């Protein structure tokens, strides 16, 4: 029979061994985890050194992101060629019956101005006056747009003016998605023929359509934007959103007029235009 004191000593030694064994196991686990973390970090960072004499990890070289290429270059047309191409495109517009607006229009409103203009104004859709005359921006809003252009030292003949839609929606309602889609190719081809350096979008619909954004005009106006890739050779054209003349007439405050004039001054600076001399 073993003495009680001897048995107690054996129990204590066994417990001590178990504790030491558990401690060594925990320490080994910690060392393994630390080593694994070091190896993983080293591999992620592409280093060549792994502690504890391990086999060096191969260097990880990230794939290079290709730099964006230059904008596709459109053919250089002569002024006569541009005028002829716009004339032919206008005939396509006049014969278009792709949407229901072809049944209700009086005239199509293609656009007008310099076929080689550096500056293009794009609005939403023709109104009653435009539908009757076949010309863009000839009502009260058009008169204000003319004053805006003249304040820049230009005339309507120096720029090109058009709308997203080429036909008037009944009762001046907002353009429908199908109507915008049917006219989209006409607008893109106008831009590709004219090749403006700057586009001024007038109001929310034109700004949303050309920039493919839902951000409101009050936040975008006064800030230069880049035309997305809506057609060959067009990506990257400078766009200045501003208020539509019709909105300015409805909210004819000094603040709104100053904001529009500030936007136009930024366009003048971009194009190197000097303010006209005061008479």
Q: What is the pLDDT of residue 204?
A: 96
Q: Structure tokens of 192?
A: 């590709």
Q: What is the pLDDT of residue 48?
A: 35
Residue 73 lies in a domain: no
Do 140 and 259 have their domain in common? yes
Assess whether 206 and 138 both reside in one domain.
Answer: yes
Residue 61 lies in a domain: no
Residues 202 and 90 in one domain: yes
User: How high is the pLDDT of residue 18?
Assistant: 58
Three-class SS string for 221-259? CCCCEECCCCCCCCCCCEEEEECCHHHHHHCCCHHHHHH
Q: Give the DSSP letter of residue 58.
A: P
4 in any annotated domain: no
Same domain, 31 and 137: no
One domain for residues 186 and 229: yes
Q: Do residues 93 and 196 both lie within one domain?
A: yes
- 200 and 96 belong to one structural domain: yes
What is residue 275's predicted lDDT score, i.e. its pLDDT?
85
* Tokens read off for 277: 């001399």
- H/E element holding 28? helix 4-45
Residue 71 lies in a domain: no
- 246: nearest Cα among 119, 112, 126: 126
Residue 26 domain boundaries: 10-54
Q: What is the pLDDT of residues 27-51, one digit of tens each?
A: 656 655 645 544 443 333 333 333 3
pLDDT of residue 67: 47
pLDDT of residue 218: 96
85 and 48 share one domain: no
Asked, for residue 166, whether it belongs to a domain, the answer is yes
Residues of the chain with pLDDT under 50: 1-9, 12, 34, 37-68
Chain centroid to Cα 175, Å, comes to 21
Asked if residue 2 is part of any domain, the answer here is: no
Q: Residue 243 has what pLDDT?
A: 98
Pairing state of beta strands 198-202 and 160-163?
unpaired
36 and 110 fall within a common domain = no
The per-residue pLDDT for 30 is 62
* CATH code assigned at 203: 3.40.470.10
**What was the pLDDT predicted at 279?**
66
- The answer as to whether 179 is a domain residue is yes
Answer yes or no: are the C-beta atoms of 192 and 160 closer than 8 Å.
no
**Total number of domains constituting the chain:** 2
Based on the fold, state whether residues 24 and 137 are members of the same structural domain: no
Q: Is residue 230 part of a domain?
A: yes
Burial tier of 183 (Cβ tally within 10 Å: 0-12, 13-18, 19+): buried
Using an 8 Å Cβ cutoff, are 201 and 240 in contact?
yes
Residues 153 and 258 in one domain: yes
- Position 1 scores a pLDDT of 45
The pLDDT tens digits of the residues spanning 102-119 come to 999 999 999 999 999 999
pLDDT of residue 54: 40
Are residues 131 and 41 part of one domain?
no
Rg of the Cα atoms in the chain: 35
Q: Is the dihedral of CA 5, 11, 15, 17 positive or negative?
A: positive
């Amino acid at each position: 029979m073993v003495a009680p004191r001897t048995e107690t000593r054996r129990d204590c030694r066994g417990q001590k061994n178990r504790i030491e064994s558990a401690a060594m196991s925990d320490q080994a686990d910690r060392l393994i985890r630390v080593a694994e973390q070091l190896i993983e970090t080293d591999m992620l960072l592409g280093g060549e050194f792994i502690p504890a004499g391990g086999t060096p990890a191969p260097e990880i070289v990230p794939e290079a992101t290709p730099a964006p290429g230059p904008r596709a270059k459109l053919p250089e047309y002569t002024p006569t060629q541009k005028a002829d191409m716009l004339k032919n495109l206008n005939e396509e517009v006049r014969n278009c019956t792709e949407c229901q607006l072809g049944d209700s229009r009086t005239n199509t409103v293609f656009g007008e101005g310099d076929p080689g203009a550096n500056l293009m104004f794009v609005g939403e859709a023709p109104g009653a006056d435009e539908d009757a005359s076949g010309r863009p921006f000839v009502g009260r809003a058009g008169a204000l747009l003319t004053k805006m252009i003249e304040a820049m030292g230009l005339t309507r003949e120096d720029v090109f003016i058009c709308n997203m839609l080429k036909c008037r929606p009944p009762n001046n309602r907002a353009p429908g998605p199908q109507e915008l889609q049917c006219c989209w190719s006409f607008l893109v081809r106008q831009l590709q023929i004219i090749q403006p350096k700057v586009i001024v979008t007038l109001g929310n619909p034109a700004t949303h359509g050309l920039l493919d954004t839902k951000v409101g005009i009050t936040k975008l106006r006064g800030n230069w934007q880049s035309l997305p890739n809506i057609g060959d050779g067009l990506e990257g054209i400078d766009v200045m959103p501003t208020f539509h003349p019709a909105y300015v007439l409805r909210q004819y405050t000094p603040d709104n007029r100053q904001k529009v004039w500030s936007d136009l001054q930024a366009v003048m600076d971009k194009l190197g235009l000097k303010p006209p001399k005061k008479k």
